[in-house]
Structure 1
Amino acid sequence: MTHGTESREAAVRRLGRGLPLHRVLDVTRPKAWADLDEDVRQAVRHGALAPSHGWLTGVHGPGWRGLRERAAGLVRESPTEARLALALCDPDGRIRGAALSYTAGRPALLPLVAVRTADWAAPVRARALHLLREALPGASAGTLAVTAPVILRLARRLRGGAAAELLDGLLREGDPARVNGLLFGCRDGLTRRAALSVVLDRGLFDGLGLALVAAGDHDPLVQERAASAAVAADEPDATVPVLLGARSGRVRAAGVTALRGAGRYAEAEPYLYDRSGRTRACARWVLRQGGGDPVAAYRTACAGRDVPDRAPLGLGECGSRSVDAPLLRELTGHRNGRVRASAVAGLRLLDAVEPRRMKALLDDPEPAVVREARRALRA
């Protein structure tokens, strides 16, 4: 049994003991809701869990006829969140359908209501979709941020498209604040991508807003699309500083590319030494577009007193083995360990590695130098 399986079974047991959902599973992880649905069903079928639905039916167990029709009149108590969650995941479709009637005003259970919109039983599916249609417009930003990722995953299922269409309509026709809430407040990358698509289609953000999205998000696709849209907005004075200051190399690369459109070619030179290879390549391209010579800039930097950390690497990316290898070999003895590592990487790119020198560098006190020397020897 894997650790993941044990964790899922433990979650079902905790739910059976009455713990609330936020203490049973990571509610921000959409797969956790589908796993819970499956795990509860399997636990009941195999006898590992025997939930009592007396609060729902007036008797224990699912084998009572007319359950759904008579359930409302036989409620003995207000169900706890845990009991209602177990009922919503029960193997018996009549129990699942009857339990849906008690989810109104229980936002913590809305993701499970969403799961039921893809239920194999048509009556359960229809009831869940009706409840979701009523609940989504008034859901808080936090509830929507937890429920929307579940809905988007349901779109991959055979019967899950209706809920996804409902969410898409809400985002495309409703309050823009809903879209902003998902784009900036949801942990799920797929949901933020969907929200960004709506932002772009509705034209909700200007160039600066899109640049801030690109610089602040950690999902590669969100970064890529938002940065490209920010550059296309042609507002370089507002967008370029934000893009160039981003942590992501692909976003900084977009900012460097935007310098070309603004005719500010010389400002790309500092990014010849960026830690991102993509950004360095864009900087070289922009300099060439403005008539500059990035190879000459690298050679000057490498021959100077204060060598930028990645100048030797950049020279290896675009220089000449016959001309530049001697300078890079000299830099493998530089006092700065990062420069030494960069020089070794540059020699590897120029196919100018001397095995004897690389073996000597395996004893270098800088770990990065040792790593690059090993890579060079393997090559």
Structure 2
Amino acid sequence: MTSANTAAEQAAQKLAQGQPIASVIDPGDPAAWLALDAAVRELSRYPLHRELPPERPPRRWLSRLLAPADAEPGVGRTSVSYDTEPGLALALCDADGHVRESALAQVPGGSALLPLIVIRCADWVTAIHNRARKHLQSALPTLTPEELAALAPLMLRVDRRERGTFATGLLEAVLRTPPYDHLKAQTTSADRDTRRFAHRIAAAEQVLTPVELARTAAQDPDVVVQNRCAEAALAGVQPDAYDEVLAPLLAARSPQVRAAGVTALRKAERPAQAEPFLADRSPVVRACARYVVRQHDIDPLPLYRAWCAERGAADVPAGAPIGLAECGDRQDARLLWPLTEHPNPAIRSRAVAGLRTLDVFDAVRLIPLLDDPSPAVTRETVTSLTPSAQRIPVDHLVDRLAPDRPRHQRLAATRLLAAQGGLRQLRILQTLLRDEDAKVRERAGKTVGAVPTRSRP
């Protein structure tokens, strides 16, 4: 039994003891409501006169709570009167459809049980989901923006079920109603799906200004919201508002959002503002920047070459080496090799990646970079050396497996030994299965485990 199931059964037991529902379950947690519904449904399947299977713990407390006070064992429970909120909550989740229907008729308007009404809107019993939908249709417009914000995540979760689209349709109708106070409350929801849903409507109804959309695109952690808001911001921006809209987009952490901002510089006729993004850390942003400057008859290649050759060591933009490789030719390798010794590890790693992009390989010059103090440089070096791993002396790699070596160097040697293959390399990797470093053991184990049993020594 999972922890979620256990928590739901404990919540059901507290409700059976008469505890208020607000103290038992988080009103804004859709998973908790769905788990409660499933748990009570399971617990209420056994009537009083039936013996439980031996593997099931006794659950007769729930049957007693839901049965009429004068009921005999085996007598139906459809005539029960639910005069407490905890009792209604349990009845709304009961396995018996008659009990659920009877409870629905007694739920007061504006009740804290509205989340369970939402779940019953997708009930398989027609009479139950029809009654629940009428209740929800009456209650939803009366909710405050804050109350609807707590309920919306559950409505969207129920939408995934068969017959579950009704509640979402009501939600959308409320959110599309001016003055859009309910909609604006959903755009800042902690629930990802709710923010996606709300921003789709907000973009269609043009509720948020381009500046607000741009700020959301730059700050929201969800990539769908980021992209949707960035597109809407740029679609609605006026020429005199470019500065306010582009500033947050160009400063965003998300590469997709920055790329959208950079691409918009073409329409804004600002190619000079795109030039710094030629050396962005993201390949998609660099590609967009090259597109913008080329549209204004600016060749990015001389800029890359100038950054890599003419500036002082401290002034080389970190993305310049890989950018040069992306639009240069093999002759530009002469500018990249010196950068493999640059004091900035970000530049060293991108220089190695740039050489690989240009299909320039020199094992004699690359092998020493396996000892680089930066894990990023070592990873790029291993990637470059792997297709030609046989050129590396085995003893050279074994020396880098010493326990006093940095972890990233030991992992690099492990990867290259695996790439070499061979009986001796396999035996070396087998000794690493007892290594004190868990990462080294894991890497060696994956390699050894992939070798057919008959091929092992």
TM-score (norm 1): 0.86
Give distance in 2, aligned partners of 1:269 and 1:328. 20
Aligned-CA RMSD value: 2.7
Check whether the contact 1:15–1:21 (CA below 8 A) recurs between aligned residues.
no
Q: Are 1:163 and 2:171 matched, yes or no?
A: no
Q: Are 1:102 and 2:107 matched, yes or no?
A: yes
* One-letter identity of the residue aligned with 1:346: G
Q: Are 1:67 and 2:75 matched, yes or no?
A: no
Which residue matches 1:330? 338
SS at match of 2:225: helix
Q: Are 1:10 and 2:17 matched, yes or no?
A: no
Check whether the contact 1:155–1:163 (CA below 8 A) recurs between aligned residues.
yes
Match of 2:234 among 231, 236, 239: 231
Q: CA deviation at 1:65?
A: 4.3
Give distance in 2, aligned partners of 1:300 and 1:59. 92
Q: CA deviation at 1:295?
A: 1.7
Q: CA deviation at 1:207?
A: 1.6
Match of 1:145 among 140, 149, 163: 149
Check whether the contact 1:179–1:195 (CA below 8 A) recurs between aligned residues.
yes
Which residue matches 1:348? 356
SS at match of 2:187: helix
Give distance in 1, aligned partners of 2:168 and 2:69. 36
Which residue matches 1:316? 325
Give distance in 1, aligned partners of 2:96 and 2:300. 69
Give distance in 1, aligned partners of 2:228 and 2:67. 49
Q: Which has the larger radius of gyration?
A: 2
Structure with bigger RCO (C-alpha 8 Å, 6+ apart): 1
* One-letter identity of the residue aligned with 1:155: D
Check whether the contact 1:301–1:307 (CA below 8 A) recurs between aligned residues.
yes
* One-letter identity of the residue aligned with 1:149: P
**Which residues in structure 2 correspond to 1:160-309 (within 5 Å)?**
160-184=164-188, 186-235=189-238, 236-303=242-309, 304-305=311-312, 306-309=315-318
User: Taking structure 1 as reference, are residues 111 and 338 closer, same or farther at Cα in structure 2, changes over 3 Å only?
Assistant: same
Give distance in 2, aligned partners of 1:161 and 1:199. 20
Give distance in 1, aligned partners of 2:209 and 2:67. 52
* One-letter identity of the residue aligned with 2:232: A
Q: CA deviation at 1:251?
A: 0.9
**Which residues in structure 2 correspond to 1:23-102 (within 5 Å)?**
28-45=28-45, 48=57, 49=59, 50-51=61-62, 54=65, 57-58=68-69, 64-65=75-76, 67=78, 71=81, 75=83, 78-80=84-86, 83-100=87-104, 101-102=106-107
Q: Are 1:112 and 2:116 matched, yes or no?
A: yes
* One-letter identity of the residue aligned with 1:239: V
Give distance in 2, aligned partners of 1:40 and 1:338. 56
SS at match of 1:149: helix
Give distance in 2, aligned partners of 1:60 and 1:339. 80
Q: Are 1:124 and 2:124 matched, yes or no?
A: no
Q: CA deviation at 1:22?
A: 7.0
Q: CA deviation at 1:112?
A: 2.0
Give distance in 2, aligned partners of 1:60 and 1:145. 41
* One-letter identity of the residue aligned with 1:209: E
Check whether the contact 1:55–1:79 (CA below 8 A) recurs between aligned residues.
no
Once structures 1 and 2 are overlaid, which stretch shifts more, 364-373 or 28-37?
28-37
* One-letter identity of the residue aligned with 1:106: S
SS at match of 1:67: coil
SS at match of 1:17: helix
Q: CA deviation at 1:318?
A: 2.0
* One-letter identity of the residue aligned with 2:160: R
User: Taking structure 1 as reference, are residues 352 and 105 closer, same or farther at Cα in structure 2, changes over 3 Å only?
Assistant: same
Q: CA deviation at 1:9?
A: 2.3
Q: CA deviation at 1:88?
A: 2.3
* One-letter identity of the residue aligned with 1:102: V
* One-letter identity of the residue aligned with 2:6: E
Deviations 1:15-42, CA, capped at 9 Å, x for gaps: 4134766776665553443333223322
* One-letter identity of the residue aligned with 1:117: C
Give distance in 2, aligned partners of 1:214 and 1:286. 21
Once structures 1 and 2 are overlaid, which stretch shifts more, 87-96 or 111-120?
87-96
SS at match of 2:221: coil
User: Taking structure 1 as reference, are residues 340 and 134 closer, same or farther at Cα in structure 2, changes over 3 Å only?
Assistant: same
Which residue matches 1:370? 378
Give distance in 1, aligned partners of 2:344 and 2:384. 19
Give distance in 2, aligned partners of 1:135 and 1:158. 22
* One-letter identity of the residue aligned with 2:323: G
Deviations 1:23-71, CA, capped at 9 Å, x for gaps: 7666555344333322332243375444256478446799654725x62
Q: CA deviation at 1:195?
A: 1.2
Give distance in 1, aligned partners of 2:304 and 2:7. 58
Q: CA deviation at 1:106?
A: 3.3
Give distance in 2, aligned partners of 1:318 and 1:62. 82
Check whether the contact 1:111–1:146 (CA below 8 A) recurs between aligned residues.
no
User: Taking structure 1 as reference, are residues 63 and 219 closer, same or farther at Cα in structure 2, changes over 3 Å only?
Assistant: farther
User: Taking structure 1 as reference, are residues 157 and 289 closer, same or farther at Cα in structure 2, changes over 3 Å only?
Assistant: same
* One-letter identity of the residue aligned with 1:359: I
Give distance in 2, aligned partners of 1:141 and 1:153. 19
User: Taking structure 1 as reference, are residues 60 and 260 closer, same or farther at Cα in structure 2, changes over 3 Å only?
Assistant: farther
Deviations 1:220-275, CA, capped at 9 Å, x for gaps: 22211211121122332321112112221111111111111110111001112222
* Equivalences, count: 366
Gaps of 5+ in 1: none
User: Taking structure 1 as reference, are residues 269 and 60 closer, same or farther at Cα in structure 2, changes over 3 Å only?
Assistant: farther
SS at match of 2:44: helix
